[in-house]
Amino acid sequence: MSCPHLAIVTMSYCRAYPVKVLVPAEGEPFASPCAGVGYERCPAFEEAARRAERAHSSASSLCRVPPKGGQS
């Protein structure tokens, strides 16, 4: 028999935020931009999107094929 005070709750956290803050993923919806379409205005999301774009841009520049004849 387990403790009657034990509760199992599914939690969520933001991978973009520098510190993991656990938020219950079940139950009543909370007033957070993460829970709806407002997530795009979140500063942590915006910074993560900028980092991803910079990484994609620099990876794309490394993969460019030089023109035929060896001239760039």
Write down the pTM of the prediction: 0.53
- Write down how long the chain is: 72
> In the prediction, which pLDDT does 52 show?
87
Which tens digit of pLDDT belongs to each residue from 16-71?
888 888 877 765 555 566 777 788 888 888 888 898 888 888 776 666 666 676 55
> In the prediction, which pLDDT does 61 show?
66
> In the prediction, which pLDDT does 54 show?
87
Q: Which residues contact 14 (CB under 8 A, 6 or more apart)?
A: 20, 21, 34, 42, 44, 45
Question: Which residues are bridge partners to 11 per DSSP?
Answer: 24
> In the prediction, which pLDDT does 28 show?
56
